Amino acid sequence: MNRHWNAGARGLSRRQYLQRSGAGFGALALAGLLGEEARAAGKSGADTSSAMAPRPPHFAPKAKRVLFLFMHGGPSQVDTFDYKPRLQAESGNPLPFPKPRVVSSATGNLLGSPFPFQQHGQSGRWVSSLFPEVAKHVDDLCFLYSMYGSNSRHGAALLELHTGSDTFVRPSMGSWITYGLGTENQNLPGFITICPTLTHGGVNNWASAFLPAVYQGTPIGNAGTASDQAQIPFIQNTETPRDIQRQELDFLGALNRERMGRTGPDTALEARIESFELAFRMQSTVPGLQDISDETPATRRLYGLEESKTRNFGRQCLMARRFLERGVRFVQVTHSYKWDQHDQLRSGHTSNAAEVDLPISGLLTDLKARGLLEDTLVLWGGEFGRTPCAQGGDGRDHNPHGFTMWLTGAGVKPGFGYGATDEFGYYSTEHRVHFHDLHATLLHLLGLDHKRLTYRYVGRDFRLTDVHGEIVTPILA
Amino acid sequence: MPFVRVVPSKTQSSRALVAWVVLAVLAVPALAGAGAGSSVRPAKPPAPDPRGLELFEKQIRPLLSSRCYSCHSSQAATPAAGLRLDSSKALRKGGAHGAAVVAGDPEQSLLIRVVRHAGGAPRMPPSGRLSDAEVGALVRWVRLGAPMDAGTAPQAQVGSGPGFWAFQPVRTPVPPPVRQRAWVSNPVDAFVLARLEAAGLSPAPPADRRDLVRRVTFDLTGLPPTPEEVDAFVADRAPDAWEKVVDRLLASPRYGEKWGRRWLDVARYADSNGLDENLAYANAWRYRDYVIGALNQDLPYDEFVTEQIAGDLLPPAPDPAVNHRRLVATGFLSLGPKMLAEDDPAKMEMDIIDEQLDTIGKGFLGLTLGCARCHDHKFDPIPMVDYYALAGILKSTRTMENFNVVAVWHENLLAAPEEVRRFQAAETALTEARAALDRRKTAATQALLKRERGKVAAYLLGATRAIRESVRDEEIPSEATRWKLAAPLLRQWITHLSKARTDAGSVLAEWVRAAGLTGPGVVAAPPSLEALAARYQEQVTAAVAAWEALRAGDPKAARLPDAALEPYRALAFDSPGPYASPAGAEAYFLPDEQQEIAQLTMRVEERTRMVPSIPRAMGVAEGSPTDLKIHLRGNYLTQGELAPRGFLRAVSVVSAPRAPANGSGRLELARWITAAQNPLTARVLVNRVWMGHFGEGLVRSLDNFGRLGERPSHPELLDWLAASFSSPSPASPPASAAAPASVSPAPYPLNWSLKRLHRLILTSSTYRMSTAYRSQAGAKDPENRLLWRMNRRRLDAEEVRDSILAVSGGLDLKMGGTLLPLKNREYVTSTANRDTTDYNAPRRAVYLPVVRSSLYDLFTAFDFGDPSVVNGQRGATVVAPQALFLMNGKLVLRETRRLADRLLSLAGADDAARVQAAFRIVFSRAAAPVEVERHLAFLHRIESSLAERVPEAAERRARAWQSFCRVLLSTNEFLYLE
């Protein structure tokens, strides 16, 4: 049954309730489940929570919010964090075991990484020359070397990563998390995705599918927008002066309240009045949050805003911190579809990493300095990795069979590495971690049991992890 | 992959092989003790342990399937080492090395040894060691006897048997007696009132006439009534005044636009594929227009269903337009989202079929068939074998042209058969003409290259000169003419020679040095340069001769064996290089070649003109009839028993036809769905129409009538409506609903007519109740399940947009066609993430493109829903983005200004009259004097606030009226229907 809400004596499902009176981004003092009944009886609503009000998790959480740094296209594990001496030694030789039955493109022999690796920090984790700045944080990172998915195409792999399904339209993990926990700042959306891609599943990667619409991600711009131009739909009005708009809303509120007197109690009508106030606050709050002029020069440098190469992604990262700081539950930052090096691996990965390395490092430094890393979980990775075998002379094909993601922050072991791929970095072989397992672990860290976080839709209880998912307990701090 | 050979590295394999053979020789007799080559257990094993079976289904089968079966199952052409792991028998029989499993004894089981990577045994699977949990599961399973079922789906017995209400035949209940007989306008009311009276409740009073006409106009057309329409109805005191309004609205083309859109929600209509490769469905609009047209002409629902499933299979009608319409209708099966970039074509095909079945199941039958893809439906009587019986019908249907990456969906040509034949013949002729032209061009190019290979010396000197003199690109043609060279080749020579200046290994390095091209400056040419050029020519000529001789004997030869000559061959033939096939070489062809090419080009142009332009529609055609085997756990790699094409066994339709051997069975499927005895089809449909008018269905789970759906609130009413709906009509139309003083016991034969069904429902007293709240009733039935009042409803996304345009006077009522600014199969959002779709057209929203994965912001904000799935009922949320749209949306800003201008241009009106006019247009009612006062005061406030900012009085006034209009369009009175 649906968590929290289905237990109502009236049997009105949470979905039906939300269909009529989903309260949007705001904490509405609705009569809630007792609705008209309670009001008619002159009682105050027993349940004053709204769809987005913070809700207690199933058990004590380690993390309160999630930041996902998504590297669209599929960064190569064997060129970044998964060091494979044998791949280097046997570069040019054939792969000594079979390739997968289904592949995206034909590949040839092994291709050693053009990027030298070094050990870093106390933990001695290996990092390639692509990430010199992130390398300084290895003692805080928790690497999952044995990630795997089941689809070798971008679209399907993105959907699998974001929703758990490469076959059907399902709610995004951010939607599940806001459904489970609500959000902490009622003037902001609970789930924000900064410059997301419109391709490879597009909206479905942040949509709520059958979950109520309030849980869908709010996109700020898209991957085609420069991050300083990114906006929430309809947030801006260059025509109507703010004070005129205020007068309009005051008058509108008066008209609507008066009509309530004639129609009798109706939570939806009441919620509508409040929704305009929320919208008015949002259009003040959000652009203010996106305006980073109050950040110090030191912070701007930290995120790479002073350099053309890192400015765009740096600004995305800085916006992410500002949203996290104000209690947004799930923030995703997308580094646009650049990591797909079927050829020109050396130059492509060099340039991609150069765009994100400093901003990510700056973000981690900043989160730590502000104490946010203590209750924020950060996830880094792409929809799959890349083959250790060469495609063409200087490229790598998609590889969902084994790749690396990393976590840091609340609840995960720092300076830790979990699982492994084979000696060449092709297949996840030890302590394999599927997307479902990752999802189960994220929910666990947020205090949610992935088997209990369900939503009933056309007669079936759905979960983010479908019928799968095992918590990766060894990485838990 | 033979069992023994596969070890992670080559170096270990020979040693491991020896050790393994020894082990195997020792082990086999021990393992096979119970009988060589047969089961190690008695021939009739005891009943399998259910825990083992469950473990097998949950964990072992998926594991074997994903990690072992590509080599060790019937799907492998030759199972590796002769070992198959896909049946109990095969497992115990084992392969070349004996039994894989000793039931009950993991330690003695080969399977366990190899997955543990135990010493001496090969390590399996080759793609990497299983996780400890996976190995543990295998060990537990072997300990439990390693049971596997034989791949036969047990008969589904759980949950809703045929006894479940939705599967029982539709009855024709007699309308129940009621006390308040005067309230009963038609039998619908009797069913509703009987339940209210039983619960001690009474129906709400009739709604105000203005509310009523506003309600029904939105319900049937999605638009507000005009002030004149409101006045006409309010003034009409005739007893059939209401019926006249209903009939007028049902006859309006706006009806098809409103209710067509409702069906499009069910049909998960969209103008793009969505999912991974978001390609434009640039012909999908024809299906959308088909639906609108079908509803406007009241195509009987059984025909509507049949055309969408099997329109291409109906006997040809004399009118070709009818045949085309039916082809367009099959777009229903093709419009779904498809994973077009799936590397596994078999998976892609089964996923597409699953999507089609999901839509058919939920859309027509209110059943979630998808569950039975992987296992017998846990709650509804749908065994896997029924799912695959239906899937076989779609497998035998052509939805796709291919399953490549990126896959191509099928489209039907909308033309008479002879015209299609003409089209195909013309296309073939055009293809041939193009090929002939290409062949001739290629031959002429080769001839040119052959000639020019004899001018190596001239090109070398010419290119050197050009480099020295920094000849600009546009000067190359005249330079070439001067020296009788071909400009495109001279250009390639220049490029190649320039590259050689920094490449000491180049065959031209000697030339570069001799010509003094090494450094940046220019060195005078030594006199011997001509001689060197002649030497290059000699070498090239020799290489060409050697190459031609070699290729004559060995057409696949890749290089000359003579290492000294090979660089000259490369120079003369390879691409990139000076003699790569150049573009723009036509001018250098010989005159007779040029003439032939000109003729061939003309032929291509002629034949291009001769290809008739034929409209296309997404849709299906017949494929090759195929029965599927059931796919265990939904995985096509593990197949079970054969499921001959057929329908759901739980729905017994007496005269059910069978799928023919020579066809897909789609037409028979349609006949089965629309058979009068099918208990689901009519119930599901009348419930959809009911929901459209009351906001909730009699069964609130519109798309699920199964056990996990909800039960009907008024089962007798549902059955009575369904029976009426599917009853063939006698000669006369149903009795006027105004007439019956007593309730007719017989159903109204509606003969699948949707318009008659609407009329029946709308002329009930139930529909005409007010929304007035009464606390006593509210306390007893807070959800209004018994219908003690009308439900208030929010305008849906299209209604919000269309009515804003309607009241401003900006709405363009042109019907049909497409607004998608994309070519067919073009990417909607390129990787540049730009959506070029323009949603500002003032057309009705139903004609705006529906772009999956990148939906129009307004649709997203107002609960349009996800157009990838069947969506019988939309949400009606109240979220902040809706308010943001009404405050800041460009459309709202534009149209409120238009409405303001419209009000200000009213002739001979003062401001009070303007407020009155606005109320009549926007709210369908007059403003009370006190309301006029308040709005005038508001206008005055805004105008004075703008005084300093907007100096021009007329503009200031217009802006104030725009503010006034924005407020009206944001009110609950505008956004909700009473």
Concatenating the DSSP letter of every residue in A265-323 gives --HHHHHHHHHHHHHHHHHHHHHHHH--TTS-HHHHHHTTTTSHHHHHHHHHHHHHHHH
Q: What are the chain B neighbours of A216 within 8 Å (beta carbons)?
A: 860
Question: Which contiguous run of DSSP H or E holds residue B290?
Answer: helix B285-296
pLDDT, greater one: A16 or A46: A16
* Contact of B216 with B249, CB cutoff 8 Å: yes
CB of B802 within 8 A of CB of B845? Answer: yes
**Are the C-beta atoms of A67 and A323 separated by less than 8 Å?**
no
The neighbouring-strand residues paired with A456 are A461
Higher pLDDT, B696 or B381: B696
Q: What pLDDT is stored for residue B162 in this prediction?
A: 57
User: Is B887 in contact with A272 (Cβ distance < 8 A)?
Assistant: no
Q: pLDDT tens digits for A328-368? A: 999 999 998 899 999 889 989 999 999 999 999 999 999 99
Residues 429-448 of A with CB under 8 A from B: 429-432
The residue that leads in pLDDT, B139 or A332, is A332
Say whether B887 and A204 touch across the interface (CB within 8 A): no
Cβ contact A153–B832 (<8 Å): no
The answer, yes or no, to whether residue B19 has pLDDT greater than 60, is no
- Report, as an integer, the average pLDDT of A259-272: 81
Q: Which residues of A touch B857 (CB under 8 A)?
A: 233-234
Percent of all residues in chain A with a pLDDT value above 90, rounded to a whole number: 63
Encode pLDDT of A233-248 as tens digits. 888 888 899 999 999 9
**Which pLDDT score is estimated for A10?**
34
The per-residue pLDDT for B75 is 65
Enumerate the β-bridge partners of residue A409: A377
Contacts of A234 in chain B (CB under 8 A): 857, 861, 881, 884-885, 887-889
Nearest to B8 among A10, A97, A166 (CB): A97
**Where is B793: in which H helix or E strand?**
strand B793-794
Tokens of A96: 């000594």
Looking from the CA of B836 toward its CB, the CA atoms found within 13 Å total 13
Predicted local distance difference test score (pLDDT) of residue B525: 54
Cα within 13 Å of Cα(A280), Cβ side: 19
* CB contact (8 A) between residue B833 and residue A233: no
Exposed, middle or buried: residue B795 (CB in 10 Å: 0-12, 13-18, 19+)? Answer: buried
Q: What is the pLDDT of residue A290?
A: 86
Cβ contact A154–B341 (<8 Å)? yes
Structure confidence at residue B309 as a pLDDT band (50, 70, 90): very high
Q: What pLDDT was estimated at residue B740? A: 44
Q: Are the beta carbons of A237 and B343 separated by less than 8 Å?
A: no
Q: Which residue has the higher pLDDT, A435 or A208?
A: A435
Both structure tokens of B832 = 């540049």
Region A273-293: what's the mean pLDDT? 86
- Interface contact A252-B967, CB threshold 8 A: yes
Q: A411 versus B583: which is more confidently predicted?
A: A411
Give the residue from chain A lying closest to B132, CA to CA.
A431
Distance, in Å, from the CA atom of B176 to the CA atom of B558, rounded to the nearest integer, reads: 91
Q: Give this complex's ipTM.
A: 0.72
CA gap A156, B347 in Å, rounded: 12
Scanning the structure block, which residue is given the tokens 């001799």?
B514
Binning pLDDT at 50, 70 and 90, where does residue B159 land? very low
CA B98 to CA B543: how far, in whole Å? 61
How does residue A36 score in pLDDT terms, banded at 50, 70 and 90?
very low
* pLDDT score, position A38: 27
Residue B856: its pLDDT value, please? 87
For B308, residues 6+ apart whose C-beta sits below 8 A from its C-beta are B267, B329, B330, B331, B332, B333
What does the alpha-carbon distance between residue B420 and residue B249 come to, in Å, rounded to a whole number? 40
Model pLDDT, residue A15: 41
| pLDDT computed for residue B24 by the predictor | 34
Which band of pLDDT confidence, cut at 50, 70 and 90, is reported for residue B63? confident
pLDDT at A167 over 60: yes
Task: Quote the CA–CA distance of B517 and B501 in Å, as a whole number.
Answer: 6
**Does residue A279 surpass a pLDDT of 70?**
yes
**Residue A267 above 50 pLDDT?**
yes
Q: Give residue for tokens 């009818």.
A: B322
A292 burial type by CB count under 10 A (0-12 exposed, 13-18 middle, 19+ buried) = middle
d(CA B725, CA B690): 12
Residue of B nearest to A422 (CA): B128
Residue B18 has a CB neighbour count (10 Å cut-off) of: 11
Q: In chain A, which residues have their Cβ closer than 8 Å to the Cβ of B836?
A: none
Contacts of B887 in chain A (CB under 8 A): 234, 237, 240, 245, 248-249, 276, 279-280, 283
The partner residue sitting opposite B779, judged by closest CB among A37, A98, A202, is: A37
* Percent helix / strand / coil, chain B, rounded to 5: 50, 5, 45
> How far apart are alpha carbons B670 and B698 in whole angstroms?
25
Whether pLDDT at A128 is above 90: yes
Which band of pLDDT confidence, cut at 50, 70 and 90, is reported for residue B744? very low
Pick the residue from chain B with its C-alpha nearest to A171.
B866
The beta-carbon neighbor of A202 closest among B707, B853, B883 is B853
Q: Which residue has the higher pLDDT, B518 or A288?
A: A288
Fill in the amino acid letter for B231: D
Task: Output the pLDDT for position B519.
Answer: 60
pLDDT: is B41 or B750 the higher one?
B750
What radius of gyration do chain B's Cα atoms show?
A: 39
pLDDT band at A323; cut points 50, 70, 90? very high
CB contact under 8 A, A460 and B128: no
* Residue A249 in this model has a pLDDT that exceeds 90: yes
Establish if A251 touches chain B: CB-CB under 8 angstroms. Answer: yes
B933 vs chain A: nearest CA distance in angstroms?
A: 13
Q: Which of A345-359, B304-318, B385-399, B545-559 comes out lowest in average pLDDT?
A: B545-559
Task: Give the dihedral sign, CA B496/B498/B504/B507.
Answer: positive
What pTM value is reported for the model?
A: 0.72
| Angle, CA A220 vertex, CA A218 and CA A225 arms, to 5° | 145
**Measured between alpha carbons, how far is B755 from B758 in angstroms, rounded to an integer?**
5
Q: How far is A212 from chain B (nearest CA, A)?
A: 8
CA-based nearest residue in chain A for residue B9: A96
- pLDDT over 70, % of chain B: 89
Q: What is the distance in angstroms between the Cα of A40 and the nearest Cα belonging to chain B?
A: 6
Are the beta carbons of A459 and B131 separated by less than 8 Å? Answer: no
What domains can you pick out in chain A, each with its CATH number?
A: 65-232+295-475 (3.40.720)
What pLDDT, on the 0 to 100 scale, is given for residue A187? 83
Determine which of A315-319, B383-387, B658-662, B689-693 has the lowest per-residue pLDDT on average.
B658-662
The Cα B261–Cα B265 span in angstroms is 6
Say whether B949 and A255 touch across the interface (CB within 8 A): no
CB contact under 8 A, B131 and A22: no
Which residues in chain A have their CB less than 8 angstroms from residue B831's CB?
Answer: 199, 337
CA B626 to CA B350: how far, in whole Å? 13
pLDDT value at B267 more than 60? yes
CB B186 within 8 A of CB B764: yes
Q: What is the pLDDT of residues B855-887, one digit of tens each?
A: 888 998 888 877 888 888 887 777 788 999 999
CA B428 to each of CA A455, B402, B608, B609, B613: distance values in angstroms, whole numbers, following the listed order: 55, 20, 11, 13, 15
Q: Is A173 exposed, middle or buried (0-12, 13-18, 19+ CB in 10 A)?
A: buried
- All residues of chain B having their beta carbon less than 8 Å from the beta carbon of residue A203 are 853-855, 860
Compare B320 and A7 and report the one with higher pLDDT.
Answer: B320
The whole-number pLDDT of residue B520 equals: 53
Q: Which of B689, B736, B680 is nearest to B165 (CA)?
A: B680
- Please give the pLDDT value at position A59: 95
- Check whether A6 has a pLDDT greater than 70: no
pLDDT at A156: 87
How far is it, in rounded angstroms, from Cα A286 to Cα A187?
9
pLDDT at residue B835, rounded to an integer: 59
Q: Which of A28-32, B280-284, B886-890, B955-959 has the lowest mean pLDDT?
A: A28-32
User: Do A159 and A201 meet the contact criterion of CB atoms below 8 Å apart?
Assistant: yes
> Are residues B218 and B795 in contact, defined by beta-carbon separation less than 8 angstroms?
yes
Determine the 3-state secondary structure of B453 from DSSP. Answer: helix
pLDDT over 60 at B178, yes or no? yes
Q: Which residues of A touch B861 (CB under 8 A)?
A: 233-234
Residue with tokens 């008058």: A251
Indicate yes or no: CB of A235 within 8 angstroms of CB of B888: yes
* pLDDT beyond 60 at B947: yes
Give the pLDDT of residue A23.
34
Average pLDDT in chain B: 87
pLDDT at position B833: 56
The predicted-structure confidence for B788-837, as pLDDT tens digits, reads as follows 999 999 999 999 999 999 999 999 999 999 999 899 999 886 545 555 67
Residue type, B898: R
Round to the nearest angstrom and report the end-to-end CA distance of chain B.
Answer: 71
The pLDDT tens digits of the residues spanning B708-738 come to 788 999 999 999 999 999 998 764 444 444 4
Cβ atoms A202, B274 nearer than 8 A? yes
Specify the pairing of strand A330-335 against strand A191-194: parallel
- Report whether pLDDT(A21) > 60: no
B contact test, residue of A87, A153, A166, A214 with most B CBs within 10 A? A153
Which value, in Å, is the radius of gyration of the alpha carbons in chain A? 24
- What is the pLDDT at residue B42? 37
Q: Is the pLDDT of residue B652 over 80?
A: no
Report the chain A residue with the minimal C-alpha distance to residue B831: A199
The predicted structure's pLDDT at residue A7: 29
Kindly list the residues from chain A whose CB atom is less than 8 angstroms away from the CB atom of residue B945. Answer: 243-244, 247
Cβ of B966 and A248 within 8 Å? Answer: yes
Q: Are B878 and A271 an interchain contact pair (Cβ–Cβ within 8 Å)?
A: yes
pLDDT band at B941 (very low <50, low <70, confident <90, very high): very high
Label the pairing between strands A455-457 and A460-462: antiparallel
- pLDDT value at residue B39: 34
Structure confidence at residue B149 (pLDDT): 62
Cβ neighbours of B359 in A, within 8 Å? none
How large is the angle between the packed helices B209-221 and B253-266, nearest 10 degrees? 60
The two tokens of residue B568 are: 């000259």
CB atoms within 10 A of CB A14: 23
Q: Could you tell me if A167 lies within 8 Å of chain B, comparing CB atoms?
A: yes
pLDDT digits (tens, 9 = 90+) for B412-448: 999 888 888 999 999 999 999 999 999 999 999 999 9
**In this structure, which amino acid lies at residue B103?**
A
Size of interface A-B (CB pairs under 8 A): 290
How confident is the model over A170-221, as pLDDT tens digits?
999 999 999 999 988 888 889 999 999 887 888 889 988 888 777 888 889 8
**What is the Cα–Cα distance from B105 to B113, expressed in whole angstroms?**
11
pLDDT of residue B832: 52
Confidence of residue A31 (pLDDT cuts 50, 70, 90): very low
Q: What is the average pLDDT score of chain A?
A: 86
Q: What is the pLDDT of residue B654?
A: 65
Determine contact, residues A256/B765, Cβ cutoff 8 Å. Answer: no
- A351, B732, B734, B735, B746 from B739: Cα distances, Å: 80, 15, 11, 7, 15
